[in-house]
Amino acid sequence: MPIYVYKFIDTGETIEVQQAFTDDALTEYPHPADGNMRPVKKVFQPVGVTFKGGGFYKTDSRGGSSSTSTGTTSATSSASTESTSTPTSTPAASSDTAST
Of 42, 44, 51, the C-alpha closest to 9 is 42
> Is residue 55 predicted with pLDDT exceeding 60?
yes
The answer to whether 42 touches 71, Cβ cutoff 8 Å, is no
Helix (H) or strand (E) segment spanning residue 40: strand 37-43
Tell me the whole-structure pTM to 2 decimals.
0.48
> Is residue 85 predicted with pLDDT exceeding 90?
no
Confidence of residue 3 (pLDDT cuts 50, 70, 90): very high
> Is residue 44 predicted with pLDDT exceeding 80?
yes
Long-range CB pairs of 24-27 (<8 Å, 24+ gap) are none
pLDDT of residue 47: 80
Q: Interior CA angle at 76 toward 73 and 77, to 5°?
A: 85
